[in-house]
Structure 1
Amino acid sequence: MFRLHLGSTPHSLTDANIQELARKTEGYSGADISIIVRDSLMQPVRKVQSATHFKKVCGPSRTNPNIMTDDLLTPCSPGDPGAMEMTWMDVPSDKLLEPVVCMSDMLRSLATTRPTVNAEDLLKVKKFSEDFGQES
């Protein structure tokens, strides 16, 4: 479900991260997982908007992704080497390198999203399936 909802969005999640998220969301509906992923996709935007410091990094050129450039700016901690005090409004749009979605983004979103299905509902569905389920 997580891979499906992430689609082609750049992220740094590993297979182990996805498995951990699956364990942590047992009992969540597909819609619940969709909400978690959608919120986590906004986390990099929030990082950019709330950043007080940016640093120069290397990445693909905004005009030609096949060319690497070393003058892009990405949000960072004030203590990072090369950190420059500025807000996202000070960063030229063609120089902004947004962070990719990472595991901490997912966990932050998971912490604020509760499942809409409870254990009692799951038992009712299981009983219904046992009583009226389709035969293969």
Structure 2
Amino acid sequence: MKNRTMFIIFAVSIISALVVGQALAAGSWSNYNLTVPRLGGTAITNNHTKVSAADKAVVCSQGIGGNKTLSARIETLNNNVAAGYQTISSLQRREYTLNPSTAGAQYHARLRNTNTVNVQAIGWWSPDNPGACGF
């Protein structure tokens, strides 16, 4: 009985460590709620630290006001381009290949608006690739 209990505790510990390790390796999402100025204006999200060495980043657009389209890219902390602009609309997911891609470095997303009106943008993003957007 004692051996069985010890085995169960050991197995649960190993499984828990694997699950937590996978969650940490996958990174996490950072929410944004931005008003992007009109006619070429841009807005940036908060900086977010990359936890994995993988070269993928993701932007998930939950909603963009007025049924408009914006462009989004990923930048390093000092505003250098890590992945170029891609157009994005409501309920769309965009995946980016980062260059450079450095675990421990900080990145942010920049949204650009070429419309004639200011546009509200709501969503989440990650310099890692945590998975599906969930919409």
Whether TM-score is above 0.5 comes out as no
Instruction: Give the structure with higher Rg (CA).
Output: 1
More strand by share: 2
* TM score, norm. by length of structure 2: 0.27
More helix by share: 1
* TM score, norm. by length of structure 1: 0.27
Highest RCO, 1 vs 2 (Cα 8 Å, sep ≥ 6): 2
